[in-house]
Structure 1
Amino acid sequence: MTDQEPEQKKHVYSVRVYYEDTDMGGVVYHANYLKYIERARSDYVRQLGNDQNAMRDEGIVWVVRRIEADYLATARFEDELTVETRFISRSGVRLMMGQLIKRGETEIFRATVTAVCMNAQGKPVRLPAEIRALL
């Protein structure tokens, strides 16, 4: 997240690094950072009242359209991490979020995620009203 982004309420999600998260070098395997930010996004939209099971039952699911990621430092076994998530922008069908993983005050991973909702036919649909109302 950059200094140019509007100051908005952030969601904070805690993660502990387990042995299974690490690679042969003892650091968090690069793909696991994507898992951490996915969990944080799911937790955030759940807290906002977005029921993803109900959406799926109606034939609509969240899909990540794009991720731009920067790996800034390494995390290791037993580290306690926090994932900060902020809304950046939205259109009728697209939502952009900035996500930052920190160990204490040290930034170790940064991503900009674009998500959309799609129907069972794979076509984009409008974002849920409760999400659109936030921005």
Structure 2
Amino acid sequence: MQQNRRRDRRPVRRAGPDREPSPAAPALEGADVVLVGFFSGRQKDVASVMDAAADELSRRGARVVGRVVQRRGVSAGGAAQMSLPYSSRTLLSYGKVHETAALCARTRAEAAVFLWSLTERQCRVLTRMLGVPAVSLDTDTDEAA
């Protein structure tokens, strides 16, 4: 007699020796980086926030070679969903991830620095998708202190 198998069951991924380790945050001193920000469509001071982050990175010795801005909430429907990321894996839309990857490749950036906190999983996924280490600006600040 055949057992009924549930089709929606997927194998659970567990941390183990076969899983790749979390990427270590690269030293930003002397590195070329791409700065990535996620903002509400209603936020008007996007340029000043990005400039302040670029200044912080240049104080640490990094050189910002590109900037990417993901806007959310420009439409009425988007404004209602502003608290939710586009994707729980990347926080960005997939088109914006591909745009960022192309910018990293074109500028030969050594890292992509995100303005918000990234989870370990998001760092791993973004690093794989972008081809360069993905780090969070505030996480790197905590490690540097």
Bigger fraction of residues in strand: 1
Bigger fraction of residues in helix: 2
> TM exceeds 0.5?
no
Structure with greater Cα Rg: 2
What TM-score do you get using the length of structure 1 for normalisation?
0.30
